[in-house]
Amino acid sequence: MKVDGNSLRTGNVIQHKGRVWRVVKTQHVKPGKGGAFLQCELSDVKGGTRVQVRFRASEAVERVRLEDRTFQFLYKGGDEYTFMDRENYEQLSLDALRIGETEARFLTEGMEVVLGLSEGEVMTVSLPDIVACLVVEADAVVKGQTQSGSHKPAVLENGLRVMVPPYIERGAKVAVRLSDLSFVERVSS
């Protein structure tokens, strides 16, 4: 399906120069001279190679049609992540590059994910927007910090650092928004 170059969004899968790419980042640019364009960071679906490409509004881009299916994450074995189709119980394995290195760190056993398939091949992996994680390390509160505007760094069970409010301590469970790795709320156990 052909779409305008400036209508691409993060997560879209396109065909460009004979290869299939996933749109990782987009930015609309309006230079002082000349027409506006969309600056895209694309990731090769099969190899993980990243490139920067500019699309003008007048350019037509071929978008790949995807069939979204719900899978359950079962386990990680070596560098492979194994998922099970919720409808027919078939299993498939993917590597971290196909999932996304940051997203792979948030996978937990039993988590439901949506896989975008094209002709039986996995093109995209979508985790829930918000994921609960355990805080394994949190800095002490600095005296004089106010509750409302300040945050402190914390390390999650998967090794990633996020900024959390001062009242979050080691051992707390927090909800994290995956799109920008931001704190959402404390989760009661």
Q: Supply the CATH number for residue 143's domain.
A: 2.40.50.140
Contact 2, 60 (CB under 8 A): yes
Final residue belonging to a domain, choices 22, 42, 63:
63
135 and 176 in a common domain: yes
Q: What one-letter code names the amino acid at 85?
A: D
Tell whether 115 and 73 lie within a shared domain.
Answer: yes
Supply the pLDDT for residue 119.
81
Q: Of 45, 63, 81, which closes a domain?
A: 63
142/178 same-domain check: yes
- What pTM was computed for the model? 0.73
Question: In 34-128, where does DSSP find H-type helix?
Answer: 96-99, 101-106
Same domain as 136, residue 121: no
Do the Cβ atoms of 67 and 87 come closer than 8 Å?
A: no
Check residue 97 and give its pLDDT.
76
In terms of residue numbers, what domain contains 84? 67-126
Q: Residue 173: what pLDDT? A: 93
Shared domain check, 55 and 18: yes
Domain count along the chain: 3
Tell me how far apart the alpha carbons of residues 180 and 162 are, in angstroms, rounded to a whole number.
10
pLDDT mean for each 10 residues of the chain (189 residues): 79 86 86 85 82 86 88 91 91 84 86 88 86 88 64 89 89 89 85
Clarify whether residues 117 and 134 are in a common domain.
Answer: no
- Asked which of 48, 63, 78 is the last residue of a domain, the reply is 63
